[in-house]
Structure 1
């Protein structure tokens, strides 16, 4: 509505601003602004009858009349095109606009007027112009409203399949995949497969307001599902859920839902599928046709979605992480006295120092991670099967348990070979003529004797015993070692120095030598 400058000025002497606003249909701030501009420009009543509202407006607001002020009108079409490019902002374009005006000796508009003119332009043309998204910025995801079917090969029962959709708005390149449910595992798997299909990750992920992705949605503070948040962190993207009942927040995926409902779901209406894999092969075949289907309107030089993605958007995607995201579940467990925790009937070891502690367990399809107060203390490959299984890391055992576990027949033979032939023969005889557990117990006693008396002395004692005894025992060998120790030069020297009768006084103590000499004199 054109502003009635003349009527506002003519009513001002006898009426309040509120009355003028009600009479002219303009807002009070606008009435106040017109009166203030009239005072600044010294435009007073009575007005020249020849002046029109447009002429009065140019007098009061000269910045709106570039033909009379010499101000350079910005190229709004150019601004709109440049804003579609990555990292380009309106403030940057205004800075460039100022430089161009200065170089051409023209007067630029203020930043406020510059933004207002572009806002009016975008508001006017947004219904008919294609506003391009920045490449690599967004990926919009949703479930299709229509469903597919898989037939049970045995019973013929129809099983519902749901179509997951992901779209890159800049190129309109799409991905879809059928799942048998809309639960969290399938929702996450759809995202992972979509990223693999696109070969990269966008900066922002716009999802529907589903409970699988969003726990609650306040106006400015959505609360994401923890698993969904972990997936976003793994791929380095930001989740921005669409507002409730606001399909315009994700227009491309909404439009693609309708298109794919025709080109995929409706196109497969007369076909029967007996497995999900068979259905998805058909879905991906139709998806390929959809992405290669020519645009009905020409957008620059791109003929179809696939070409637009390859030439204009693929380069802008962030690289994929080294490994795809695996959905994890969290549980708590208590470390038992045998330093293991039980998860799904399987047992996994943790360091024995945490016996009796409560720990957090993170489970993926292939890995078990154990945390104590946010610090990871153990990890294992996940075990599967019906019977109970154990995954034990020897580093988690006490020293005594490590020795027991590492003490085997093979390790015993290896140890005996390092000592000598007599011990090797004895160890081999023990292993061949006794139950393994009993033999290992005897060999462990021999190892303790080697630590106490030395490996060389043990080898010599074993050779001595084998000459006189058909079945050497550790007790006989130990007696020989004790006797050998008593016969060593060090033991003999100590025996000579020591006096067995330490409290007996000799002749010198009693002065017998001096007494005998006085008697002889």
Structure 2
């Protein structure tokens, strides 16, 4: 509008079009168009000078631009459909141009055709500039290209490469991992937080299966393990929309930089394990983070130290341990079977027949019923073995689990030492411990039924006969043999010529 005002002012001062063009560096044809509009409008110079820039643009510029040609109108009408077709797999601009030129032989050339498409897409898909707040977001992704480990036998194993970047300072973390499974993803994310020495408020993953169970434009369904990891470090998970790379353009750009600054330094080197590969990555990563950014006087590390380090959340001092989960049914015996170890764990008997949720780590096993912790055990990987908490068992089962030789002898000693001696003999005679425990339990139960004195006498009597067991004591008590007084010395048998000695049978 300034140029337009200068043109009219100079014309009002009596300057010709050639002189005005030389003074303002505007083509004479443009000056003639402006002057034609001004003279045709009938406006005085004073009225012209009083008009606003908006009014001048509406009167002069719109009128100065020629009307659209028919072929431009025809092409612009086709652009919405053309751009929809471009979203289809396998469709190219060249294919669509051939269709266009068949219908409009006098249409634009392919370069002008593609120019109209670019302009239409720019107007209808504008890119939003996002101001990243310090300590707000961490973007994570895996690179498309992979690194390799040498197996030593001429073969190679591919490794995934994890990338994390802080939104504000753009400090970057890179690590090679075995896979994109949730165990490796969570461990790499945690290592990134340790590298940053703090946690952001939000972590933004791509729609990785290890982080997002089901993607959504509005509210994605998160992988429960990854959600628990984020909660452990007080972070919110905000997945990028599917097929919307601009939602995570920062990490997409970081991946491209990683290719240039890290991958190129490792291309010709040979690595045999992840630890040596990650050590080499860390060296290249430090160079990348400490190199001044493009057209900036500061590096990512400098920007991080100045504006982002202090606003990150403090890390949880306890490292996150991944919890696997399983839905199991409590068996009739009050145990659940953890299939991964083929080991059995007790559960309170009142939950028999219920379906419970089991969360287990490398160290512990936790059992939940309707979000309530009902049992907790130290993990045991011995196959076909039972881990039991006696408080979980029914009262009659608790009694059985408390049986032991020491306990029976101790109970017998409380009655009399002769009873304890007899119980010790019963334990020695029985070959199977549980059989002996049942017999001892039955013998000691007689103290409640007949009294301690009779039981003491019965045990003395049975021991004199050299008979040990529950049935022996029961028979003695039933026949009241315990009332008979045993002779102090056994009767001696006199020598006689009719008595054969033991040598006779040799």
Q: Structure 1's 54 and 461: CA in aligned 2 closer, same or farther, altered over 3 A?
A: farther
Determine the C-alpha separation between the residues in 2 that align with 1:208 and 1:332.
28
Q: Deviations over 1:320-379 (max 9, x none)?
A: 335333334443322222222223233222222232333333344443333333333223
Determine the C-alpha separation between the residues in 2 that align with 1:296 and 1:267.
19
Secondary structure, aligned partner of 1:227: helix
Determine the C-alpha separation between the residues in 2 that align with 1:196 and 1:412.
57
| Alignment pair present for 1:188 and 2:178 | no
Q: Structure 1's 485 and 54: CA in aligned 2 closer, same or farther, altered over 3 A?
A: farther
Q: Deviations over 1:224-277 (max 9, x none)?
A: 233333332232211222234444433432332222222221111111112222
Q: Deviations over 1:270-301 (max 9, x none)?
A: 111122222222222322333333556556xx
**Mean alpha-carbon deviation: is it higher for 232-241 or for 136-145?**
232-241
Determine the C-alpha separation between the residues in 1 that align with 2:46 and 2:179.
76
Equivalent residue number for residue 179 of structure 1: 177
| Alignment pair present for 1:446 and 2:443 | yes
Deviation at 1:421, TM superposition (A): 2.7
Q: Deviations over 1:403-442 (max 9, x none)?
A: 2222112333343444443333223333334425243223
Q: Structure 1's 267 and 56: CA in aligned 2 closer, same or farther, altered over 3 A?
A: closer
Deviation at 1:318, TM superposition (A): 1.8
Equivalent residue number for residue 430 of structure 1: 426
Q: Deviations over 1:449-488 (max 9, x none)?
A: 345566x6478546864896555665676666998999xx
Q: Structure 1's 56 and 367: CA in aligned 2 closer, same or farther, altered over 3 A?
A: closer
Gaps of at least 5 residues in structure 1 are 5-44, 58-125, 487-521
8 Å Cα contact 1:340-1:350 kept in structure 2 = yes
Taking only aligned residues, the RMSD between alpha carbons, in angstroms, comes to: 3.8
Determine the C-alpha separation between the residues in 2 that align with 1:462 and 1:310.
88
Determine the C-alpha separation between the residues in 2 that align with 1:140 and 1:180.
20
Determine the C-alpha separation between the residues in 1 that align with 2:386 and 2:472.
41
| Alignment pair present for 1:349 and 2:352 | no
8 Å Cα contact 1:461-1:480 kept in structure 2 = no
Instruction: State how 1:177-326 maps to structure 2 within 5 Å.
Output: 177-295=175-293, 304-326=299-321
Equivalent residue number for residue 134 of structure 1: 133
Instruction: State how 1:427-506 maps to structure 2 within 5 Å.
Output: 427-437=423-433, 438-452=435-449, 457=453, 461=457, 465=461, 470-471=466-467
Determine the C-alpha separation between the residues in 1 that align with 2:318 and 2:353.
35
Q: Structure 1's 458 and 235: CA in aligned 2 closer, same or farther, altered over 3 A?
A: farther
8 Å Cα contact 1:337-1:355 kept in structure 2 = yes
Deviation at 1:219, TM superposition (A): 3.3
Q: Structure 1's 279 and 475: CA in aligned 2 closer, same or farther, altered over 3 A?
A: same
8 Å Cα contact 1:148-1:161 kept in structure 2 = yes
8 Å Cα contact 1:146-1:265 kept in structure 2 = no
**Mean alpha-carbon deviation: is it higher for 48-57 or for 194-203?**
48-57
Determine the C-alpha separation between the residues in 2 that align with 1:298 and 1:447.
90
Deviation at 1:165, TM superposition (A): 0.8
Equivalent residue number for residue 392 of structure 1: 388
Secondary structure, aligned partner of 1:140: strand
- The TM-score, its normalising length taken from structure 2, stands at 0.62
Q: Structure 1's 397 and 145: CA in aligned 2 closer, same or farther, altered over 3 A?
A: same
Determine the C-alpha separation between the residues in 2 that align with 1:484 and 1:309.
95
Secondary structure, aligned partner of 2:47: coil
- The TM-score, its normalising length taken from structure 1, stands at 0.61
Alignment coverage as a number of residue pairs: 368
